[in-house]
Structure 1
């Protein structure tokens, strides 16, 4: 009795995931359990519908954009490894981090940038900025005020005068923000 439960819990690609993401073995186990709980049909992968059931994402103004990051390159499902990689962007920074790390400042900035750059042209257009600000600020300001905020934001960040914000301009405009902490979730402790 109980012999089945005494065997080690097998998580696909566990060592590679730990290396890629910096998650501890215990964190990978908790993520895998969360993945399995979301995978109600026990398919071994998640769909957008599965992720839309997460309450925190449902109430987040850019939740749909965050969900879309799990489904790059037109994929309709995400496996556990991709799930862990995306969530690693939100892993708190502890001590020195290499620039190649998934939760480095550079990686977090690239992740944040792609939430704005929906057409994936490498620039945040005025329309893309307006769309995000409208989602985040909502009805708290008038359309005219929102247009002014958008114009000023793009104008201040756009150093080359092309009326769009490149990744380099985006990174420069948020250089004083503590992005490492702002993009961290303490759900895996």
Structure 2
């Protein structure tokens, strides 16, 4: 696909579509490419941390630092693949896999009590005390059949969240 400033060919569009499991139409991919080029201010072919933080919605997200670890340096194809979890057509499993990666910050394939506690801290800020967070988390894990010492795998996450009716979508404006 070359540099970000070059135009997408039909082959590029189809390749990206295949890479993201056909969750975006060709028009949506072209729109995403235009947005990618706007973010890639220096036309390097990837988006840096600073460029991601220039998106106000991203910068204000309480999980932005965790997400930055996942998105820093993405090229266009991987940018679309990342966003595909937010597609209305994405499966619940694809959405849960993304959430799991947010929690599994050390990328060891397991989420510990402390990993979840850190995310809760990021999400709740000063609205909850550490003691309140620990009580909520301990109760939640107990109800799901896990102890405080358990490590949750992706399969555990799918079992717990798979029935939740998780709604995680973003609309891609098509020009």
**What is the TM-score normalised by the length of structure 2?**
0.84
Shift of 1:162: 4.7
Cα distance in structure 2, aligned partners of 1:175 and 1:32: 31
Q: CA RMSD in A?
A: 2.0
Q: Which residue in 2 is equivalent to 1:187?
A: 172
Shift of 1:39: 1.0
Question: Gaps (5+ residues) in structure 1?
Answer: 1-8, 72-76, 94-102
| Alpha-carbon distance change, 131 to 160 in structure 1, aligned in 2, over 3 angstroms | closer
Q: Contact between 1:158 and 1:169, CA under 8 Å: does it hold in 2?
A: no
* 1:1-189 aligned within 5 A: 9-11=7-9, 13-21=12-20, 22=22, 23-71=24-72, 77-93=73-89, 103-159=90-146, 162-179=149-166, 182-188=167-173
Cα distance in structure 2, aligned partners of 1:59 and 1:10: 31
- 1:50-78 deviations in Å (ceiling 9; x for gaps): 1111111111111222232224xxxxx22
- 1:59-111 deviations in Å (ceiling 9; x for gaps): 1111222232224xxxxx22111111101111112xxxxxxxxx222221111
Q: Secondary structure at the match of 1:165?
A: coil
Q: Contact between 1:116 and 1:132, CA under 8 Å: does it hold in 2?
A: yes
Higher relative contact order (CA 8 A, sep 6+): 2
**What is the TM-score normalised by the length of structure 1?**
0.79
Greater C-alpha Rg: 1
Q: Contact between 2:117 and 2:133, CA under 8 Å: does it hold in 1?
A: yes
Question: Gaps (5+ residues) in structure 2?
Answer: 1-6
Shift of 1:156: 3.1
Q: Contact between 1:158 and 1:165, CA under 8 Å: does it hold in 2?
A: no
Q: Secondary structure at the match of 1:183?
A: coil
Q: Contact between 2:141 and 2:148, CA under 8 Å: does it hold in 1?
A: no
